């Protein structure tokens, strides 16, 4: 914690009381969230979403990128083959 305090004090000029207070709040909130998850409060039923159109577009984009990379790789290999 001394390293975190020193770095924040240097960069932002924050008092160590605020640094330790902020870290304490983060730890308390993280514990509360973990407790809520363990109690099942956050168990919200999933909403079915149809992502087929998005996946199709991403596949087309990936294929186009892979084709361009293959073309660049071919040009690089041709250039390397011409080297003595």
Residue 38 in tokens: 């363990």
Measure the CA angle with vertex 60, ends 49 and 52; round to 5°. Answer: 15
pLDDT category of residue 1 using cuts at 50, 70 and 90: low
As a whole number, mean pLDDT of residues 66-82 equals 85
pTM over 0.75: no
**pLDDT tens for each residue of 17-58:** 777 888 899 999 999 988 888 877 656 676 787 888 889 999
Q: How many angstroms separate the CA atoms of 52 and 57, rounded?
A: 9
Label residue 17 left, alpha or beta by phi (over 0 means left) and psi (-120 to 50 means alpha): alpha
Q: State the CB neighbour count (10 A cutoff) for residue 9.
A: 14
Residues for the chain: how many in total?
A: 84
């Amino acid at each position: 914690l001394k390293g975190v305090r020193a770095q924040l004090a240097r960069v932002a000029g924050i008092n160590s009381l605020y640094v330790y207070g902020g870290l304490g709040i983060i730890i308390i909130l993280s514990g509360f969230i973990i407790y809520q998850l363990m109690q099942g409060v956050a168990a919200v039923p999933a909403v079915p979403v149809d992502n087929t159109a998005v996946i199709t577009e991403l596949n087309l984009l990936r294929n186009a990128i892979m084709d361009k990379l293959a073309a660049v790789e071919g040009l690089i290999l041709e250039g390397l083959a011409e080297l003595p």
